[in-house]
């Protein structure tokens, strides 16, 4: 495979048409080698418009979804970021290139090891991957400028919102199949949150987050 041509095609044919037009984001996608974060068995799918299996029911998000999330996150160089669901470490690397520091929580120990190794190989030194359950965040490290969930949830736990700085924001894919929405929550003050849902997508569930009861009374 010609990785450089495939990367160019991914950006021009999948990502730009999905309203990702931020030059800094597009440049980052062109220089961070996505293929280095994809399991060997799935290398041929590196730049395909699809999720890539990582095992344990986890997956890498489709490239256009990652790109749109990165654009919407609007990460700044001074910011501290919490990522929940590190996966293979690719989105962690994208965040780290734009932030001051990234703490990534990954519930599967072998994925946490994979992400650490991938980030080290990629020369990313301002991101730390921790093996742990991210459903309650990392209160001891809070507050965060940005919290990003790397999969879908039925609802956003209040405990995570409380770990945002005033002026900070949280990005998560929220909802039930077949309807999930990118949800951006901005903390404007103590107990004051502004929510927007700018686009639709689908993603695999993050583990240990609350699910609504299927029963209706």
Domain borders along the chain are 3-201
Q: What is the predicted pLDDT for the residue at 131?
A: 97
Q: How far is CA 50 from CA 14, 20, 69, 216, in A?
A: 11, 17, 15, 34
Does the pLDDT at position 216 exceed 60? Answer: no
- In this prediction the pTM is 0.95
Q: How much is the average pLDDT of 145-157? A: 96
d(CA 4, CA 92): 21
pLDDT band at residue 57 using 50, 70 and 90 as cut-offs: confident
Q: How much is the average pLDDT of 119-146? A: 97
Q: Which residues contact 212 (CB under 8 A, 6 or more apart)?
A: 154, 155
A 10 A CB-CB count for 118 gives 22
pLDDT band at residue 163 using 50, 70 and 90 as cut-offs: very high
pLDDT band at residue 56 using 50, 70 and 90 as cut-offs: confident
CB 149 within 8 A of CB 78: no
Does the pLDDT at position 130 exceed 70? Answer: yes
Does the pLDDT at position 12 exceed 60? Answer: yes
Q: What is the predicted pLDDT for the residue at 82?
A: 98
Q: What is the predicted pLDDT for the residue at 213?
A: 66
Q: Which fold has domain 3-201?
A: Rossmann fold (3.40.50)
Q: How far is CA 176 from CA 17, 24, 153, 204, 216, in A?
A: 25, 32, 8, 10, 16
Does the pLDDT at position 211 exceed 90? Answer: no
Question: What's the mean per-residue pLDDT of the chain?
Answer: 95
Does the pLDDT at position 217 exceed 70? Answer: no
Residue with tokens 């991210």: 134
Q: How much is the average pLDDT of 156-160? A: 94
């Amino acid at each position: 495979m010609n990785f450089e041509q495939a990367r160019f095609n991914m950006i021009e044919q999948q990502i730009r048409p999905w309203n990702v037009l931020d030059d800094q984001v597009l440049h980052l996608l062109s220089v961070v080698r996505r293929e280095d974060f994809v399991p060997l068995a799935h290398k041929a799918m590196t730049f395909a418009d699809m999720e890539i299996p990582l095992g344990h029911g986890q997956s890498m998000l489709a490239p256009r979804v990652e790109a749109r999330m990165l654009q919407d996150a609007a990460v700044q160089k001074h910011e501290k970021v919490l990522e929940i669901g590190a996966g293979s470490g690719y989105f962690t690397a994208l965040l780290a290139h734009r932030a001051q520091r990234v703490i990534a929580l990954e519930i599967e120990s072998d994925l946490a090891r994979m992400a650490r190794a991938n980030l080290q190989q990629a020369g990313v030194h301002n991101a730390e991957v921790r093996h742990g359950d991210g459903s309650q965040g990392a209160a001891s490290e809070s507050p965060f400028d940005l919290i990003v969930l790397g999969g879908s949830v039925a609802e956003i736990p209040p405990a995570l919102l409380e770990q945002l700085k005033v002026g900070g924001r949280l990005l998560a894919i929220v909802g039930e199949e077949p309807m999930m929405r990118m949800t951006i929550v901005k903390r404007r003050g103590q107990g004051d949150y502004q929510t927007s849902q700018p686009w639709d997508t689908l993603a695999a569930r993050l583990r240990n987050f609350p699910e609504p009861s299927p029963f209706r009374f």
